[in-house]
Amino acid sequence: MTEEDIARLEALGYIRRDFARVEEGLIKLRNVDGHCFFYNPELKACMVYENRPEGCRLYPFIYVEGVGVTVDPECSVAHTVSGREVAKAAPKVLSLLRRLGLLKEG
């Protein structure tokens, strides 16, 4: 998650330690009972959808080392995503990874 993501969620009244965790120097969304902190299983909905983190906005596009930007095979609609959609999302995914310091320029 970016600092902008966190600030946006905190502005909604959420407390960072409740929804975020630090792992290997990265801030990640916390899972509760096997799902994202912001997912309401009764409503089957994201409670912060309009304000969700950038990584969530880009999903199901992910970066795989040695492959590049692709579609998460765990996503239930992965088979419906076209190569054109992957190509369109790739610059956004790569930009996010660079801003998070996970990918070098180039």
Q: What pLDDT, in 10s, does the model give residues 21-71? A: 999 889 999 999 999 999 999 999 999 999 999 999 999 999 999 999 999
Integer Cα distance of 18 and 34 in angstroms: 15
Q: What is the four-CA torsion angle of 79, 83, 86, 91, rounded to 10 degrees?
A: 170
- The pLDDT of residue 57: 96
Range of the domain at 41: 1-51
Same domain, 41 and 63: no
5 plus 34 within the same structural domain: yes
Kindly state whether residues 19 and 44 are assigned to the same domain.
yes
Q: Mean of the pLDDT values across residues 8-15?
A: 98
Q: Is 62 helix (H, G, I), strand (E, B) or coil?
A: strand
**63 and 47 part of one domain:** no
Asked if residue 45 and residue 63 are part of one domain, the reply reads no
Residues 34 and 12 grouped into a single domain: yes
> Model confidence at 106, in pLDDT bands (50, 70, 90)?
low
Phi, then psi, of 78 in degrees rounded to 5: -55, -35
Q: What is the pTM of this model?
A: 0.87
Structural domain count of the chain: 2
Q: Residue 103: which pLDDT band, with cuts at 50, 70 and 90? A: confident
